[in-house]
Amino acid sequence: MKNAVQHWSGGKDSALCLYHARRNPQLRVTHLLTTLNEHYQRVAMHGVRPELLHAQAARIGLPLQPLWLPEMPSMAEYEQRMAASLHSLQQQADVTVSVFGDLHLQDLRAYREQQLTQQGLEAAFPIWHKPAAELLAEFFDLGFRAVVVCTNEQHLDASFCGRELDRDFLRDLPPGVDACGENGEYHSFVYDAPYFSRPIPVVRSEKVRRVYQPAGNATSTDKDDCYRSQPDPFAAGFWYCDLLLGPDADPV
């Protein structure tokens, strides 16, 4: 059995990926690794507060390894910090495998595999090429529950942000929008899962619009990284629903 780290965004893909990784008799997931934005103090691109991330880790029963990134990371800086985090896990927990919830982006998979090979690590993609309808049906049938916390307004208007990720949400998606949000149409936060010790009580707070544009010398590596704030009205606009821990949440 090989020790593995789950690259964890807190959203539906990484949550379902972890479900399958935990059922793989050849893997033992020992840690969660999440990229966060130092400037905004939020999960990269998802906009989720760190305390919600820690609530997920506590309910899963796995230690969380945060990877803090500056507001405008260069590719070199991203790779350096990621390599340092993974090296730490190699040394501390004998991790030899990195697990990702990617679905279809072949160039992203190739990039990950190339970077990990240089570090003496393997990559695993438990839900790779799983059809969207099958993946989402499994997500709902297993009892996962999630809130849509970010939408790209080029694909979805603000009304979709903050909604429950359920079958009604999928039915309302406009034509051309990937049901799994594989092209960055939306991101989610999972507040209940079959391997959670208990659900996370969440409260929907304000919606905020932010405008981003890809950094000039960067190639996106995670659909979450390498973005920087810009006042340019023609850059990509995103809506975020701020989630708060409910008043009856356990301290984390």
**CATH number assigned to the domain comprising residue 218:** 3.40.50.620
pLDDT single digits (tens) 159-214:
999 999 999 999 999 999 999 998 899 999 999 999 999 999 999 999 999 887 65
pLDDT in tens, 80-99: 999 999 999 999 999 999 99
Q: How many domains does the chain have?
A: 1
Enumerate residues 6+ apart whose C-beta is below 8 A from 188. Answer: 11, 12, 46, 146, 147, 148, 149, 165, 181
Closest to 150 (Cα-Cα) out of 187, 179, 177, 180: 187
Residue 250, in any domain of the structure: no
Q: What is the per-residue pLDDT for 130?
A: 93
Domain carrying residue 224: 2-245
Residue 251 lies in a domain: no
**Model pTM?**
0.89
What whole-number distance in Å separates Cα of residue 245 and Cα of residue 51? 8
What is the number of other CB atoms lying within 10 angstroms of the CB of residue 189?
28
At residue 233, what is the residue type? P
| 180 domain residue, yes or no | yes
For residue 50, the SS3 value is: helix
Does residue 148 fall inside a structural domain? yes
